[in-house]
Structure 1
């Protein structure tokens, strides 16, 4: 006997949690949510400071690698992705950013009716429960808790002082009418604990909604079709291969890498490429896996003996133990830190309409995503390029559903990206050389003596990698040969199949991608409900 539901959602990440929760608000609509990882509700997820344990290794993390990157001297990059309920919102740095209004207006200008900034703002607000901000740009009472950091780290003030000294404007709210400037980030936390998409949208209802079934440790292996109609999903749970049926729709929310992978495994994609793996074509859709976009990111690192930074030193380790005790007592202090507490958005040229770089200032010195521990304490500052011209792709390495997909972000593939990142490097250094931050540095770990443009380019190719924002591999579009879904997020040429995650973004937004992916889930649920009523 195969279980049957109105909707089967594949992937319990930011988009999947939002769409599954909103659809299951109607007690007459049954929803099954399949998640390849665990339940995402233990201390490693809820304690913000534990994110380093997840990002750097295999805890709640797929920990993918890229193919060798030609623009990065042939290096293999790293792509952590959440593998648990909440998806990457359970392992990320919790920065609450929506992107620039112009990003969404651009989507609409490409023919994606209903996706302008004015169209999507209500969904950002509906999802949000902002502890500190309100007004026309913010929401109260939504499932996603947003607040200021409770780390109480005095370095935040030092960062703002340096920003003033370097003559950058200070921005109180990056999600209001303007984005440009530097400041401190709001985070997806409540009372000092991480607030993942699962915590907001799924955990509260797992026991109370009889129409919502959540299957964890359930990895989808293929979509089941009858002709051109998606009718269910095959998945592995433990050692068992099971099937689950969908009366109305299968909704793919497995993320920018695994949604296209699952489509291709199921015969949807470029038919010639699938034939190489012996996969019979169900529907030729050449855009599946194309249009991968991600923010290339460089990290400055400094050692410091200031007593406010995380790291491996006798003082740093003592601070961690003291911080754990404080966190247990009052949910404040260093263990509530999202590490990337400050940052902002800057224009490398005054003639730009929108900021083209984003900074993440971190209260620890991180090398290679935390995978190369160093003795000593310090701080770091990421600079990423917000709208890179380089595009990459995702494809199958084999027909084995448990093999990782091949991932090629094509970082610095276009020369223009390298030039823009040189400008971003110089602008960020202007901030880091300001007296307030300079005074805290004992050594410059990666960029000492790097002065000329050629030196900077060499350093960028040596160190650039992802800042964890892959999108675009099932792009939304109209009259576009690479579009995979229409503006209602329905897969072209098939029935009963939608994509609801960051892979539908036609272009990469200028900022962190978690809040926008939750917005996509919220909007998708509304579109589906409207069709059910209609």
Structure 2
């Protein structure tokens, strides 16, 4: 398959953010990155009265319908206006890498080839992992799914650090703090109604029509997971952000929540940052767009004791990072400039760019830094290690007629899960989602039907983010090392999940939409036995994909050599420097990290402001 490079047509937002430039030589706080971690944090700090500079490598597309209308999320993720392409590996085995069906190649003529039979002379790129360089970060191009981690994903930080403020019970308050719930009556104590983040759900009334083939699938799913098939119309409206006892062991249908409003508009850190800048209270927030941070600056006088961060070095201009498909490799980079922070520098570049920036600044494994001639400020071997992600896959089938209905969302536990927690988040409907590549997704026709799934509690977090050079414009070397640790267990769980979903979809085979022809993972007539577990395992091993990278600057215990941060997001061994984004999670937080990252952003703001005011934290 060939895909032409998208044209670089920028949407110009009419906002003073586009004109933003540093208004002062220094700020109380500098926040690098405007995504779910950095954007809300910068706004909170400014609203607390601290002069704050928020630096973003991309522009502002908050008024662009491609990003503002949540239904356009596939177009947003493909849009060259904001897209950064990271070409990643899933393993150290080159032969295995070339089995990934959506491997991408640069043909050299302005097009990508996606597939297993590239044209002669094509350059192998790898597996596309799109990120968003835009005000609001990846919360501006994702599907905006809002879900919470398992309680143990919060409590693990308590166990590692002894900091009880990370308990699941306490972390719930950050959801209620940031949320502006638009789907439940006001007064529910488990939700917030005055925050900056709108949440809503879809219309699930279709489930009341028992004659629909999709309802037959729904009823079969209920039967297979111990729910009442006669009550599915009510079950599908269960609140997915509910706060009930033993919620992580509850197998249930849910109505998928998104961080968008009831009018179908995306709601993200972009909205909160822009509202803060525009507020008549004149909060001291400055937003500097199209600026690439190249390193953190340290006070030379403190290098021999405890190095203190005092600012950042930046390159000003658009498309300076080589992940940007609009980057001009023939152009000389602009001269670097420096911006100073009176209190702290906070890095919120995400799981790929935060460890890269730390390493470029001299914080990371000393052997790797020395290899590229980077002076070592602090040897922290965990920087760029522990990269984790959810495994994702899908069951895709083609019917005889369209399966007309909305989404079915189900959280369930496979029989072979190692504990009582549910381990699969699935959503089924008349769509196609098979991972990421230039031009995704493939439209297989009006009769396509997919059950996509996210595997929770992955047992392997063996990936790495390593420097390719000391050039801050270069993209790091990213290897997820899928299934390297306890891989057979994770693969077995994916296989069992696929079996359950196959049985459910087959329940509609005797209606006008059937029979179904399965395209993957077991090509052939849906429901027929004949695809061995080993075959399915091999499929998931070579074709699993992901887009929830976390944990490369993980919070950990004082005696953990690989811990990068303490429980207050402070980079160990230095002063005046924190990391606040998804890279801080020690483990992948549930099925979707966007809302959990916004929650820890609110927690970080609370911690930082308390420390600034001299309060005990």
Q: Same fold (TM over 0.5)?
A: yes
Would the alpha carbon gap of residues 433 and 23 (structure 1) be closer, same or farther in structure 2, given more than 3 Å must change? Answer: same
Q: In structure 1, which of residues 229, 238, 249 is the aligned counterpart of residue 308 of structure 2? A: 229
Q: Note if contact 1:99-1:511 (Cα within 8 Å) is conserved in structure 2.
A: yes
Say whether 1:511 aligns with 2:591: yes
Say whether 1:124 aligns with 2:145: no
Count of residue pairs brought into register by the alignment: 503
Say whether 1:34 aligns with 2:109: no
Would the alpha carbon gap of residues 151 and 385 (structure 1) be closer, same or farther in structure 2, given more than 3 Å must change? Answer: closer
Give the SS at the match of 1:358: strand
Q: TM-score of the superposition, structure 1-length normalised?
A: 0.88
Q: Could you tell me how far 1:489 is from its partner in structure 2?
A: 0.6
Q: What is aligned with 1:524?
A: 604
Q: How many angstroms apart in 2 are the aligned matches of 1:469 and 1:78?
A: 13
1:351-362 correspondence runs (5 A): 352-362=419-429
Deviates more, 1:487-496 or 1:160-169: 160-169
Q: Could you tell me how far 1:516 is from its partner in structure 2?
A: 0.5
Q: In structure 1, which of residues 379, 382, 387 is the aligned counterpart of residue 452 of structure 2? A: 382
Say whether 1:142 aligns with 2:195: yes
Q: Could you tell me how far 1:107 is from its partner in structure 2?
A: 2.2
Would the alpha carbon gap of residues 50 and 493 (structure 1) be closer, same or farther in structure 2, given more than 3 Å must change? Answer: same
Q: What is aligned with 1:445?
A: 519
Q: Note if contact 2:363-2:383 (Cα within 8 Å) is conserved in structure 1.
A: yes
Q: How many angstroms apart in 2 are the aligned matches of 1:218 and 1:401?
A: 12
Give the SS at the match of 2:313: strand
Q: In structure 2, which of residues 525, 528, 550 is the aligned counterpart of residue 471 of structure 1? A: 550
Deviates more, 1:31-40 or 1:366-375: 366-375
Would the alpha carbon gap of residues 503 and 351 (structure 1) be closer, same or farther in structure 2, given more than 3 Å must change? Answer: closer
Q: How many angstroms apart in 1 are the aligned matches of 2:384 and 2:88?
A: 14
Q: In structure 1, which of residues 445, 448, 455 is the aligned counterpart of residue 535 of structure 2? A: 455
Q: What is aligned with 2:440?
A: 371
Q: Please list every run of at least 4 consecutive aligned residues from structure 1 whose deviation after the TM superposition is greater than 4 angstroms.
A: 150-159, 304-309, 436-439
Q: Note if contact 1:230-1:249 (Cα within 8 Å) is conserved in structure 2.
A: yes
Q: How many angstroms apart in 2 are the aligned matches of 1:407 and 1:25?
A: 36
Q: Could you tell me how far 1:298 is from its partner in structure 2?
A: 1.0
Q: Could you tell me how far 1:412 is from its partner in structure 2?
A: 1.8
Q: How many angstroms apart in 2 are the aligned matches of 1:433 and 1:275?
A: 58
Q: How many angstroms apart in 1 are the aligned matches of 2:552 and 2:217?
A: 36
Q: In structure 2, which of residues 276, 288, 292 is the aligned counterpart of residue 219 of structure 1? A: 292
Give the SS at the match of 2:131: coil
Would the alpha carbon gap of residues 129 and 293 (structure 1) be closer, same or farther in structure 2, given more than 3 Å must change? Answer: same
Q: Could you tell me how far 1:211 is from its partner in structure 2?
A: 0.7
Q: How many angstroms apart in 2 are the aligned matches of 1:485 and 1:438?
A: 55
1:257-272 correspondence runs (5 A): 257-272=352-367
Give the SS at the match of 1:142: coil
Deviates more, 1:55-64 or 1:472-481: 55-64
Would the alpha carbon gap of residues 393 and 90 (structure 1) be closer, same or farther in structure 2, given more than 3 Å must change? Answer: same
Would the alpha carbon gap of residues 385 and 11 (structure 1) be closer, same or farther in structure 2, given more than 3 Å must change? Answer: same
Would the alpha carbon gap of residues 198 and 389 (structure 1) be closer, same or farther in structure 2, given more than 3 Å must change? Answer: same
Say whether 1:96 aligns with 2:175: no
Q: What is aligned with 1:184?
A: 255
Would the alpha carbon gap of residues 521 and 455 (structure 1) be closer, same or farther in structure 2, given more than 3 Å must change? Answer: same
Q: Note if contact 1:8-1:251 (Cα within 8 Å) is conserved in structure 2.
A: yes
Deviates more, 1:452-461 or 1:128-137: 128-137
Q: What is aligned with 1:326?
A: none
Q: How many angstroms apart in 2 are the aligned matches of 1:437 and 1:259?
A: 52
Q: How many angstroms apart in 1 are the aligned matches of 2:423 and 2:385?
A: 23
Q: Note if contact 1:395-1:407 (Cα within 8 Å) is conserved in structure 2.
A: yes
Q: Could you tell me how far 1:157 is from its partner in structure 2?
A: 5.4
Say whether 1:17 aligns with 2:39: yes
Larger Rg: 2
Would the alpha carbon gap of residues 342 and 403 (structure 1) be closer, same or farther in structure 2, given more than 3 Å must change? Answer: farther
Q: How many angstroms apart in 2 are the aligned matches of 1:269 and 1:87?
A: 25
Q: Note if contact 1:343-1:359 (Cα within 8 Å) is conserved in structure 2.
A: yes
Would the alpha carbon gap of residues 268 and 428 (structure 1) be closer, same or farther in structure 2, given more than 3 Å must change? Answer: same
Would the alpha carbon gap of residues 142 and 372 (structure 1) be closer, same or farther in structure 2, given more than 3 Å must change? Answer: closer
